[in-house]
Structure 1
Amino acid sequence: MTLALCPLCSDDDDIVVVRTFDGGRRLVKHRCGYEWEHKEPTSPQRDPLRSFQDLKARFPNADDVDREQLEVVTRLKEQYLAVKPDLDPAVAAYWSKYQQVFSADGLWTCDPRTLKDFANSEVGARPGNQATFNSAWNDMGDAAAGKATRQTIEYLLHGPSDVPLEDRLEHLLSGTKPFAMTGFKEALLTRVLCVTYPDRFLTILKYTTEAGGKREIARMVYGLELPSPESVNWTRGRLILWSNDLLLDLAGEGFANRQHAAAFLWWAKDQPGGRRAA
């Protein structure tokens, strides 16, 4: 029995159970003769860990957007699409090249410098300054850095089929895979996905940034508050992919490609109809 003190004597010696009731309650008696009802303390209940599918189902979706806000964004979209897009003709050829490089066969036969060049290119999507990656590459040398980068991309794109892409991405972001290349993180991993799956991924390479990532765009354009990246259950890998799919669904059809759709979202967040963070 959990330790109990006599309310009269403040003593816990020679306490016996007189009677047991439902719900963990007991009538107990101290040697002094005093009887009282004592209840076993209950363990605090922790929030249960939710399954992958349950979390995905709970993630915000297009139905959560206020109807009036959707109408505002629809008008912004009509305004944006009225102007012919200024698309970079070099993107298609560049991405086609790297789709071959990132294939199961091409990844291990390409020149390692091709991988370093990818990390520092802004064609089609801008990953920002890659000083950490470049410093690690230079310290490791082409052979070792090339191998680590190949292993990183291979796990992301061609990893175990029973591990969802979202979770493979999280493993690389969190450092649980010892082979992961230093500095080859969210922006570069997302850029790999943009190149490999151009019909699915918007060229918005960060989940959250001061300048505006997917989370900020969802808030400022659609009035949706997405989960914090610090959330343990959601994980960054899941947030990155699910926010991409949400914004892609909300942006809808009519764009020349996903880069065009991403450019619209970037533009829309700075328009008067956008809902800015307080």
Structure 2
Amino acid sequence: MALIACPKCNSEDINGTPQADSRLLIHCEDCGHEWLRGEARRDPGRPAVRTIDSLHAAFPTPLDVRLDVRERVAALAQDFQLDHREPDTTAAEFRAKYQALFTRDGLRDASPDDLLQFALTDTVASAGNMSGLNRAWKTQGPERAAEKVRESIEYLLHGPESLRLEDRLTHLVDGKKVGFPSFNKEPLLTKVLCVVEPERFLPILKYSAPTDGKKEIVKLVFELDLPAAEKVAWTIGRLAVWSNDLLRSLVGNDIPDLQQAAKFLAWAKTRPALSRS
């Protein structure tokens, strides 16, 4: 496919996914542009081509949650807030510090100690076991490791504007772009988003995890099924961002502080669902 170039940015960093109608869905890894190549084989029984826009349009929305479930969750939110009214000042201070460090200018001066502390601390949310990152950090040395972490964050937050955030996230997780591989994990990259955009991103760091991922929470709390991650269409970046936005829409009006909203969801998933009560 080296002879094919993206019509928008002229990049040759592209891949093709065979479609059921014999065409190829071409995806530019640099700018995210997608187009179809080849002649379609007419077969009305075949499924339609799934582009990123058609996938996003097909992703569940709050309207897909039953009314009785929404009412039940709203009542749970009221009960939860009676006992959880105090904001987390430690998390707010942490976010303010790293919001400044993760700007374009701030990243250049972000120290190795600050970047390592961001990964290791449980403030805002725990990204899980960091033993692999610690080993890689020591192997490469603090200065080199910090330089690569800056590249990861720069690409995620300030990468090509023509490439959607969800696809930049996928590129980093899948190892297709620059950065520090041990930092380019879904939990740490999602934590970056939670700090930079705390009014959009919930501190729930994995799309799918036993009972604790966004996919599982949507099922347990809202009785709604989300798709499993795959390599081609439902990529991890798309699902991570779209499921976050779904949960934000479902709970954000009742609990605008998303740090509190995440705690509420962790609590609400333990309440008996309507279908199980």
Scaled to the shorter chain, the TM-score interval is 0.7 to 0.9
Matches of 2:208 and 2:65, distance apart in 1: 19
Please name the residue that 1:92 is paired with.
92
Task: Give the conservation status (yes or no) of the 8 Å contact 2:149–2:183.
Answer: no
Please name the residue that 1:123 is paired with.
123
Tell me the alpha carbon deviations over residues 70-129 of structure 1, each in whole angstroms, 9 at most, x when there is no partner. 122122112112223343321111110101110100101121221011000111111111
Relative to structure 1, the CA distance from residue 154 to residue 46 in structure 2 (aligned partners, 3 Å threshold; closer, same or farther) is farther
| Structure 1 unmatched ranges of 5 or more | 1-41
- The one-letter amino acid paired with 1:186 is E
Matches of 1:272 and 1:133, distance apart in 2: 38
Task: Give the conservation status (yes or no) of the 8 Å contact 2:252–2:258.
Answer: no
Q: How many residues get paired? A: 235
- The one-letter amino acid paired with 1:188 is L
Please name the residue that 2:151 is paired with.
151
Once the two structures are TM-superposed, the CA of residue 185 in structure 1 deviates from its matched residue by 0.6
Relative to structure 1, the CA distance from residue 179 to residue 46 in structure 2 (aligned partners, 3 Å threshold; closer, same or farther) is farther
Please name the residue that 1:135 is paired with.
135
Relative to structure 1, the CA distance from residue 274 to residue 160 in structure 2 (aligned partners, 3 Å threshold; closer, same or farther) is farther
Matched position secondary structure for 2:83? coil
5 Å-filtered alignment, 1:172-191, equals: 172-191=172-191
Relative to structure 1, the CA distance from residue 234 to residue 151 in structure 2 (aligned partners, 3 Å threshold; closer, same or farther) is same
| 160-169 or 65-74, larger mean C-alpha shift | 65-74
Matched position secondary structure for 1:124? coil
Matches of 1:47 and 1:134, distance apart in 2: 46
Once the two structures are TM-superposed, the CA of residue 204 in structure 1 deviates from its matched residue by 0.5
Please name the residue that 2:197 is paired with.
197
Matches of 2:275 and 2:184, distance apart in 1: 33
Tell me the alpha carbon deviations over residues 15-42 of structure 1, each in whole angstroms, 9 at most, x when there is no partner. xxxxxxxxxxxxxxxxxxxxxxxxxxx8
Once the two structures are TM-superposed, the CA of residue 60 in structure 1 deviates from its matched residue by 0.4
Please name the residue that 1:106 is paired with.
106
Matches of 1:257 and 1:67, distance apart in 2: 24
Please name the residue that 1:26 is paired with.
none
Matches of 2:46 and 2:254, distance apart in 1: 46
Once the two structures are TM-superposed, the CA of residue 43 in structure 1 deviates from its matched residue by 9.3
- The one-letter amino acid paired with 1:251 is V
Matches of 2:275 and 2:131, distance apart in 1: 34
1:50 aligns with 2:50: yes
Task: Give the conservation status (yes or no) of the 8 Å contact 1:166–1:241.
Answer: yes
5 Å-filtered alignment, 1:15-30, equals: none
Task: Give the conservation status (yes or no) of the 8 Å contact 2:104–2:154.
Answer: yes
Please name the residue that 1:232 is paired with.
232
Relative to structure 1, the CA distance from residue 100 to residue 274 in structure 2 (aligned partners, 3 Å threshold; closer, same or farther) is farther
Higher alpha-carbon Rg: 1
Please name the residue that 2:207 is paired with.
207
Once the two structures are TM-superposed, the CA of residue 138 in structure 1 deviates from its matched residue by 0.9
Matches of 1:238 and 1:230, distance apart in 2: 10
Once the two structures are TM-superposed, the CA of residue 143 in structure 1 deviates from its matched residue by 1.5
Please name the residue that 1:271 is paired with.
271
Once the two structures are TM-superposed, the CA of residue 252 in structure 1 deviates from its matched residue by 3.3
Please name the residue that 1:167 is paired with.
167
| 46-55 or 209-218, larger mean C-alpha shift | 46-55
| 240-249 or 81-90, larger mean C-alpha shift | 81-90
Matches of 1:218 and 1:184, distance apart in 2: 25
Matches of 2:95 and 2:268, distance apart in 1: 26
Matches of 2:57 and 2:180, distance apart in 1: 30
Sequence identity (%): 43
Tell me the alpha carbon deviations over residues 144-193 of structure 1, each in whole angstroms, 9 at most, x when there is no partner. 11111000000000000000000000000111114343243111000000
Relative to structure 1, the CA distance from residue 159 to residue 274 in structure 2 (aligned partners, 3 Å threshold; closer, same or farther) is farther
Relative to structure 1, the CA distance from residue 172 to residue 275 in structure 2 (aligned partners, 3 Å threshold; closer, same or farther) is farther
Give me the CA root mean square deviation. Answer: 2.0
Matches of 1:66 and 1:133, distance apart in 2: 42
Once the two structures are TM-superposed, the CA of residue 244 in structure 1 deviates from its matched residue by 0.3
